[in-house]
Chain A
């Protein structure tokens, strides 16, 4: 669990990114595929917000939507998509492109495929630098080496001459982090940045992202399915299920008392090292087909608490005590369990 609390100035600052009622639908040959449905989310400067969910919950679509990288087959609607006071939806393509890399940047899940295989690491970094800053190449090269050094890559002056395939996965992810943070963006989107890495490297990369983000005052949108990573990184958490937000709370509240059965399930699926013999409680079933959502609460077929109301009535995301929200008819869960018992 993260013990450092953010200073008050961060908690009261106006949000850097506001997403309001965001929906994304993909046009496919077999009909429309709703990937995100009515997501609202905000991130304040310097804050780390984790977006959690299983595969297919729409987490990656959210990150692409914010970056403006959705494929043309995706249809995006939102009542608000505001970055630093400016409306992203109203922006020209050109302005949006200028934001990318300079004000918002992204780290991808697969370091092995996220670097251009035919270009040297240094050239890719120099290109990234010179896209947004008019400095001569030798100067940019020095900056690139500096940036690689800051991510803990040994002998960066040699690595700039390497091709991606000559580096290990962890090194490649470091190079990608260097590239993403080279212009000190105000928003960093990290889409499962450690999933493809060895466990020993994972912790180092998480530390690196956290430290660099803190040093630069970068807000981080952290996409993950790993509750351990959430506990490590996040100030606030948003839980997605099948394209909808089912719960949002501060990280400490969420781990203390989850207010949605799905969150409870995610926490139950975490291995516990300090409780020997404690059984992991996986969530039964799988994420439903996005084209054939069950009626009512999307989670009800897998929910141990579900009753007839859940099968027919769709729960809204409603506020609970302590600045948190849950989309469960029976939240707060503890009270419900007591009355049922």
Chain B
């Protein structure tokens, strides 16, 4: 490790990020969708739950910009409220998974005795495809917002734990860990201000990528009927509802799917850019 390794790496990462137009687009799209979801009640005059059966499956028009769904509800309104739910599950799930996975990874690297046990458990988690894993969890935990967040969180957790352990191990090999111990620092200071403070960049990058997976998983669970029960608006379940009318009213499923696609793609672009910007080998 030479002088240059740390020199302003944070600000340099930022400069690289800002130069990348993909980041601007992805971040802009995400912020736009997030704001629209948060302020949905003020953006639309329609009620997301009130049905109007005479208006059902109308194609896009001036009154209903994206048309209506099978219950005659304004589709744009449904999508805004749906994005709310899906993003909430995705974000809260990722946050939960990152906290848990990060803690497991750091502790495995710091307390080497725990490493074997922790990582074998993580290996078991990783040996299931994450969709299948999330599905079984959601089925076991039952319906409800809490259990969805837990299911999504536990699905993204193993990957984050792995990355955290790797990042933490390389920090553990640095002299300042011993040096901090040699002045008598307790474990909690070493774990926080020494280990986490130096190991977090790759963990953060990976977590951004995990956001996309989490949102996709949340939508998948909704699509398969394991998400929140109707009439709650959720992007996956809106897409699933529209599937029955795919031939007479393709706009319902299509609009919901495109929105999911755009959200996930934006998170992945952002994560990729973050990874490239943090990677010193990339010029």
B113 sits at the interface (CB 8 A): yes
Please judge, given known A-B contacts A113-B1, A117-B6, A118-B198, whether A105 and B183 are in contact too, CB under 8 Å.
yes
| Interface contact A105-B182, CB-CB below 8 Å | yes
Candidates B6, B112, B184, B194; contact of A71 at CB < 8 Å: B112
Which residues of A, 175-216, contact B by the 8 Å Cβ criterion?
176, 179-180
Please judge, given known A-B contacts A110-B175, A116-B194, whether A131 and B112 are in contact too, CB under 8 Å.
no
- B7 CB → nearest A CB, Å: 5
The CA-CA distance from A102 to B183 in the complex, in Å, is 7
- B21 CB → nearest A CB, Å: 30
Stretch of A17-25, A93-101, A152-160 lying at the B interface: A93-101
B193 sits at the interface (CB 8 A): yes
Annotate A82-123 by CB proximity to B: 1 below 8 A, 0 otherwise: 000000000000000111111001101110111111110000
Q: How many B residues touch A, CB cutoff 8 Å?
A: 25
Candidates B7, B113, B197; contact of A119 at CB < 8 Å: B197
Which residues of A, 16-53, contact B by the 8 Å Cβ criterion?
none
- A162 CB → nearest B CB, Å: 12
| Interface contact B183-A100, CB-CB below 8 Å | yes
| Interface contact A114-B6, CB-CB below 8 Å | no
| Interface contact B2-A112, CB-CB below 8 Å | yes
Across the interface, which residues of A come within 8 angstroms of B174, CB to CB? 113
A292 sits at the interface (CB 8 A): no
- B245 CB → nearest A CB, Å: 56
A277 sits at the interface (CB 8 A): no
| Interface contact A72-B184, CB-CB below 8 Å | no
The CA-CA distance from A101 to B180 in the complex, in Å, is 9
B3 sits at the interface (CB 8 A): yes
Across the interface, which residues of B come within 8 angstroms of A105, CB to CB? 182-183
B181 sits at the interface (CB 8 A): yes
Candidates B6, B113, B179, B185; contact of A176 at CB < 8 Å: B179
Please judge, given known A-B contacts A64-B178, A127-B189, whether A116 and B183 are in contact too, CB under 8 Å.
no
What are 20 A-B contacts with C-beta separation under 8 Å?
A64-B178, A72-B112, A72-B113, A97-B186, A98-B184, A100-B184, A101-B182, A101-B185, A108-B175, A112-B1, A113-B174, A113-B176, A114-B179, A115-B176, A117-B6, A119-B197, A127-B189, A131-B183, A163-B6, A176-B179
Name B residues whose Cβ lies closer than 8 Å to a Cβ of A: 1-3, 5-7, 112-113, 174-176, 178-186, 189, 193-194, 197-198
| Interface contacts beyond A72-B112, A98-B184, A116-B198: sample of 15 additional A-B pairs, CB < 8 Å, sorted by A | A64-B178, A69-B181, A97-B186, A105-B182, A106-B182, A108-B178, A108-B182, A113-B174, A114-B175, A117-B176, A118-B6, A118-B193, A119-B197, A127-B189, A163-B6
State the 8 A-B residue pairs at the shortest beta-carbon distance, nearest first: A101-B184, A101-B183, A100-B184, A113-B175, A106-B182, A114-B179, A114-B175, A117-B6
